[in-house]
Chains A and B, each alone.
Chain A
Amino acid sequence: MGLLTELKSSISRATSSLFAGSEPKRIGIYGPPNAGKTTLANRIARDWTGDAIGPESHVPHETRRARRKENVEIKRNGKSVTIDVVDTPGVTTKVDYKEFLEHDIEKDDAVRRSREATEGVAEAMHWLREDVDGVIYVLDATEDPFTQVNTMLIGIIESQDLPVLIFANKIDLEEASVQRISNAFPQHETVPLSALEGDNMDEVYDKIAEYFG
């Protein structure tokens, strides 16, 4: 028994040292609610693994638990980058069940969703502290990027010295302004895209490989 345990541990040591150099980085997809984080996560996961990560919805806070897709291998220019994609709940400072009522959700359900969404934000903040190696910060390019939540999250990410890419999503919409986002965060690279339409995904993957490879 002792011999077996020893053997087992020596094997696991060997395998871990074998893969130590190429351990996939855990990339958190962060941003305010309804920025398109899950749509992006699904796009990335479908493009490279064939599976989706979670359901997308127009209802805010659809993602109320962080979801992870491991070992997403992205191939760029003959090289390959393996990452774990973590789709996180939208971060906000206020959650109110009333906003769910507008989406034809019954009050009881809305209150429950609201509680879960709040737990989700707590979870997202916890992941940010403990468990991510890099961040894709997704913003809806039709919305004003100058918000308290954005400023604070970017500040936290910077304080952690995490590599971060800012994605200006929803460029398929007429009101989208990528410039407004790059002006808001000039210290970071802003990549325009439409996760829904799949616009500019080549650049998206180039940048992911460059930043998180």
Chain B
Amino acid sequence: MPHQCTGCGHTFADGSKEMLSGCPECGGNKFQFHPEGEPVPENPEETPSTEEPPESPETPDSSVAETVGRATTKVRDFVSTRPDAPKDSPDPNAEWPSETGASSSETENPSTAESDGEIIDADARRKQREADDEDHAQASARSDVVSSNELPESERAGDSDDGDVGGLADVEPESGGRVVSEPSDEDPDLTELREQLNDQFESIKIVEPGQYELNLMELYDREEYIIALQENGRYVIQVPEQWMGDEPGDR
């Protein structure tokens, strides 16, 4: 049962299309994907909280780590225009696009509205995040995975009869299941998204000559030092000495 409704905890089999029209139990449309071999938690509410970034509010005022964690998240948020984009992962057991959208937004808070961590308490932040997740999950479910022309029948069926949806997977195993269960299906949209995501995590993004976006956290984190940008988008970098062996006296 790799899918679990985050609302009521109802679980669905891998490839099931019941969930495509919302959870039959509670109508929720946010699902957590649990890869095979991983235990499905009893309480669905616990799942998001364990996936929180290190900024989770255990020590609300202690720390630097928290501040930086928060800052990192902010940078990522800032740079990231599509937080629901799938991660570039060749692993066949990796999360599917739709689920990635829902779960990755747990760690990459898509809200750029928060301007100052100091005056926003953690609970408010989490609520905000969950609200956003909802939107992104909905958006990604609508746009990225299930295109309406591919699934008109099952959607209608799901809407009309909540109780009978269990049988639907057997009736139409082909169309509905296929769409969600083949993440390797390289449509151009996905490839583009992937490239976008890769770009976002570069230190410096060249929007066009003369226009740059900088990921400060990345610039700070990298050991090598960018000393010159070139028009073709390449960097000239200075490699730390320890990468080249001992060069006594130079520093």
Quick check: is B67 within 8 A (CB to CB) of the other chain? yes
> Using a CB–CB distance below 8 Å, which chain B residues touch chain A?
64-65, 67-68, 70-72, 74-75, 78-79, 115-118, 203-204, 209-217, 219-221, 225-229
A98 CB contacts on chain B under 8 angstroms: 210-211
Known contacts: A118-B204, A146-B115, A184-B116. The answer to whether A151 contacts B74 by CB under 8 A is yes
Known contacts: A122-B203, A151-B117, A158-B64. The answer to whether A93 contacts B216 by CB under 8 A is yes
Q: How far is the CA of A146 from the CA of B119 in the complex (A)?
A: 10
Known contacts: A119-B226, A119-B227, A119-B229. The answer to whether A152 contacts B71 by CB under 8 A is yes
From A150, which residue of chain B is reached at the shortest CB distance?
B116
Interface residue count for A (Cβ, 8 Å)?
36
Q: Beta-carbon contacts of A146-157 to B below 8 Å, as 1s and 0s?
A: 111101111110
From B72, which residue of chain A is reached at the shortest CB distance?
A152
Per the 8 Å Cβ criterion, residues 75-95 of A in contact with B are 91-95
From A93, which residue of chain B is reached at the shortest CB distance?
B214
Classify the interface of chain A: helix, strand, loop or mixed: helix
Are the C-beta atoms of A156 and B229 separated by less than 8 Å? no
Known contacts: A123-B225, A123-B227. The answer to whether A114 contacts B210 by CB under 8 A is yes
Are the C-beta atoms of B214 and A95 separated by less than 8 Å? yes
A95 CB contacts on chain B under 8 angstroms: 211-212, 214
A94 CB contacts on chain B under 8 angstroms: 211-214
8 closest A-B pairs (Cβ-Cβ)?
A: A97-B210, A111-B210, A155-B67, A152-B71, A125-B219, A155-B71, A122-B226, A158-B64
B214 CB contacts on chain A under 8 angstroms: 92-95, 118, 121-122
B216 CB contacts on chain A under 8 angstroms: 91, 93, 121, 125, 149, 152-153
Are the C-beta atoms of A156 and B203 separated by less than 8 Å? no
Are the C-beta atoms of B64 and A159 separated by less than 8 Å? yes
